[in-house]
Amino acid sequence: MTAGPPIDFGPHSGPAVCVVGSLNADLIAYESDNRIPGAYNVGRRFELGAGGKGLNVAMSVAATGLPSYLVGRVGDDMFGRFILAALTEGHVHADFVRTDPTAGTGIGHVRVNARRDYDTCVVPGANYNVGAGDTTSALDRRSDFSHVVMQFEIPLDTVADAARRFRAAGSQVVVNFSPVTAGARVVLPHTDVLVLNEAEAAALWQQVAGADGAAPGLEATTDVLRRSDGGPRDVVVTLGDRGLFGMSRTGEVRQYRAHAVSAVNAVGAGDSFLAMLVSRLAQGEPFLDGLTAAGAAGALACSRRESWLSRDDAPLLNDMVQNHSILVRPDARRA
């Protein structure tokens, strides 16, 4: 297989991408193996970072050189000011990020264990006040976004409403169904590109199929999600260290092995994957081909502390996508 167009981190004059999502101050504790009775751990270090799924994606889209706009909210506090400064430094257009007078900035309390796995306790704060007025403001001032990107760390009603209205304005709607909350299916009819991990795919399949049992195999589950509720649409399921599986809206399938990297933590890996995929789609690359660069971006994010890409990453990502051995082509196409 021939690699896609070289990864070029711009800057590009367009097209513009809008991200509607969460902004958090990430309080990251790196645990050690030194556990003391009483659920006590002596950590190796602590970091304060700008995060939230929305911010991570917007920062990585901006790093690829595309105009990146973010819709969301922060609080009128030290964490909100810290995040706004980070957005400026990351070249993200923060015109549509509001300072909420009634709620504090969202907090992500992240613990990374000695095996580089992590868990997060998220306190939503101002993220749960993101509403229709926020997205209306963005569309009123600029309606030529090629793609809009959303996840579920803001209210579900806001995601569904934004997906409908951005799609009506001509944007391609890319939704990362993370986490799959109760009723998340309502967003599916307005989704052009669906991004999930394996557990999320199974949970969404249960909502679509109205079943309580285990989902069918990966390909059958993906095909149901491709066709149901207003499909067809493009679907990609990320599989962690097993790579990723993609099915285009026409039923063509492609699977990629994971890149081997030295992991620091997986915080932001899915967001970097999502941002690179959207960037490649916005630049006209076909969906299944765009998964090559997206997979490399997600793997690269695991090898660093930051939760997003930087403009210095293009050469390394180009080297990664030149590795043709990562491609696995299942000999199947769904009708």
Q: What's the pLDDT at 286? A: 95
Measured distance CA(179)–CA(176) in Å, rounded: 8
For the record, the structure tokens of 59 come out as 């920062």
Sheet holding 172-176, edge to edge: 93-100, 68-75, 17-20, 147-150, 172-176, 193-197, 234-238, 244-247, 253-256, 327-328
Q: What's the pLDDT at 2? A: 42
How buried is 194 (Cβ within 10 angstroms: 0-12 exposed, 13-18 middle, 19+ buried)?
buried
List the domains of the chain with CATH numbers: 17-34+43-328 (3.40.1190.20)
For the record, the structure tokens of 263 come out as 């992991």
Q: What's the pLDDT at 1? A: 42
Measured distance CA(323)–CA(21) in Å, rounded: 33
Query: Which segments of 242-310 are extended strands (E)?
Result: 244-247, 253-256
Q: What letter does residue 333 receive in the DSSP assignment?
A: B
Q: What's the pLDDT at 269? A: 84
Asked if 302 and 238 touch (Cβ cutoff 8 Å), the reply is no
Q: What's the pLDDT at 261? A: 74
Measured distance CA(166)–CA(150) in Å, rounded: 11
Q: What's the pLDDT at 9? A: 73
- In this structure, the strands spanning 24-30 and 93-100 are unpaired
**Cβ-proximal residues to 117 (8 Å cutoff; 6+ apart), any chain:** 266
Measured distance CA(37)–CA(53) in Å, rounded: 34
Q: What letter does residue 235 receive in the DSSP assignment?
A: E
Asked if 181 and 151 touch (Cβ cutoff 8 Å), the reply is no
Residue carrying structure tokens 């970097």: 272
Q: What's the pLDDT at 335? A: 62
Q: How many CB atoms lie within 10 A of CB 251?
A: 14
pLDDT, averaged in runs of 10, over the chain (335 residues): 61 84 92 75 85 94 93 98 96 96 95 77 95 92 93 95 96 94 95 96 95 88 97 95 94 90 70 93 93 90 75 82 68 63
